[in-house]
Amino acid sequence: MTAAPLQALPIDELRQRSSTKWRRYPADVLPLFVAETDFPLAPAITARLARAVELGDTGYTPPEPGIREAYVGFAARRFGWDVEPHRIRTTCDVMMGVVELLRLVTTPGDRVIVTPPVYPPFYDGVPEAGCEVERVPLLETDDDWELDLAGIEAAFAAGATAMLLCNPHNPTGTVHSKESLAALAEIADRHGAHIISDEIHSPLTQPGVVFTPFLAASDAAARVGLTVTSASKAFNLAGLKCALMVTASDRTTAMVDALPDEVEWRTGLFGALAGVAAFDPQSDAWLDSLLVTLDQNRRLLGDLLAEHVPGARYRIPDAGYLAWVDLTALGWGDNPAVKVLRDAKVALHFGPMFGAEGNGHVRVNIGCAPDVLREAVERIGALARADAEAATAS
């Protein structure tokens, strides 16, 4: 039985929120930029946080808040992945985890591979860890994007020592195949390199698409991989600060266990409490409903662009609520989101922030009500028509 769609909150209620999405721009702007969603929290999360507030339970995070065991169950149910609880440690958020793991597996001055267009904080996290960014762009195929395995092999052969993998990939929504991940692991293993896999969007993989955790892709992946993930994207908990660092071999587990205690102390108590509730089976129905809504919206966006912005290029993502749209044909420059914000009053994420491969592109947050998405694309379409008419008149 298919779950019912999850309904977004009314926009007048959303504008009462104090988060970045609703405070960055004036009220006449539709915000479809930052990765926050417009839905009510899963009921189990609301109940757990409300009880904590009622108790004044706002102290330090305990060593065992229960999130390891909760994630073990979630990974088994959703991905068929057997994770051992003792191979999980927590920290503040995914990027903090990425930086700490990079420091474990690299030395200052090492080169770290990223695969643009990719999540902008990767470009900051690598130098924060004392390393240099090595760009190996995704390959664009007729149907999707894929890892440039030959380019990655060449980069490792030339001295790169680690790679940041984004799976599912942000901003394209690509879920990399098990075969591709296994091949990547073999390459890294041959060169004595490590793969740090950001899997924060994995709970948002659509039914019919198979998500393979990197550590489960092969024996080599278990040897060379370290994963960072969180409930924060799927369950809209970014402000509560809790991420998981996961390993699958005795060697990498010992490395992560040797991290300073302070890395784990940075875990937010409310983040841990909310994460336990999110990963609990009682939140599965909520997540299934969210996926139905996102499936409808990812398809709706394609229909709306075809109708209102026919020059746009867009591939339906495999996962997540972030859509990667190429507006190059409109002639709005390398960063079309600037014009869209100024003239259409729609805030989209700036494509060039994802790397030079993002020139001419925008990232659109579809984690909203269909009517909000429709109005946003209609505004952009009206702007495109006005520009075309002005060009014709001149």
Burial class (CB in 10 A: 0-12, 13-18, 19+), 261: exposed
Helix (H) or strand (E) holding 162: strand 162-166
Q: Strand 194-198 relative to strand 30-32: parallel, antiparallel, unpaired?
A: unpaired
Task: Please name the residues in contact with 286: beta carbons below 8 A apart, sequence gap of 6 or more.
Answer: 6, 42, 43, 44
Q: How many CB atoms lie within 10 A of CB 208?
A: 7
Handedness of CA 253, 258, 261, 267 (dihedral sign): negative
The model's pLDDT over 370-380, given as tens digits with 9 standing for 90+, comes to 999 999 999 99
In this model, does residue 394 exceed pLDDT 80? Answer: no
Cβ within 8 Å of residue 10, ≥6 positions away: none
User: Can you tell me the distance from the alpha carbon of 135 to that of 119, in angstroms, rounded to the nearest whole number?
Assistant: 13
Average pLDDT, the chain: 97
Spell out the SS3 assignment of 349-392: EEHHHHCHHHCCEEEEECCCCHHHHHHHHHHHHHHHHHHHHHHH
55, containing H or E segment: helix 43-55
**What is the pLDDT averaged over residues 286-301?**
98
Beta 194-198 vs 346-350: how paired, if at all?
A: unpaired
pLDDT mean over 252-280 = 97
CA 333/CA 146 separation, integer angstroms:
26
Q: How many CA atoms lie within 13 A of 357 on its CB side?
A: 19
Residue 139 dihedral angles phi and psi, to the nearest 5°: -90, 130
- The whole-number pLDDT of residue 1 equals 63
Cis omega (within 30 of 0) on the bond before 168?
yes
Please give the Cα distance from 333 to 327 (Å, whole number): 9
pLDDT of the residue at 2:
83
Phi first, then psi, for residue 116 (nearest 5°) are -70, 155
Global pTM? 0.97
Instruction: Give residue 143's pLDDT.
Output: 84
Q: Which tens digits make up the pLDDT trace of 34-46?
A: 999 999 999 999 9
Banded pLDDT at 267 (limits 50, 70, 90):
very high
CA nearest 42: which of 288, 278, 243, 279?
278
H-run or E-run covering 24: none
In order of their start, the domains of the chain are: 11-39+284-385 (3.90.1150.10), 44-282 (3.40.640.10)
pLDDT tens, position by position, 119-170: 999 999 999 999 999 999 999 998 889 999 999 999 999 999 999 999 999 9
User: Residue 71's pLDDT is what?
Assistant: 98
Q: pLDDT, tens digit, for every residue of 89-119? A: 999 999 999 999 999 999 999 999 999 999 9
pLDDT digits (tens, 9 = 90+) for 312-364: 999 999 999 999 999 999 999 999 999 999 999 999 999 999 999 999 999 99
Would you state the pLDDT for residue 38?
98
pLDDT attached to residue 276: 98
Q: In what order do the strands lie in the sheet with 243-246?
A: 88-91, 243-246, 225-229, 194-198, 162-166, 111-114, 132-135
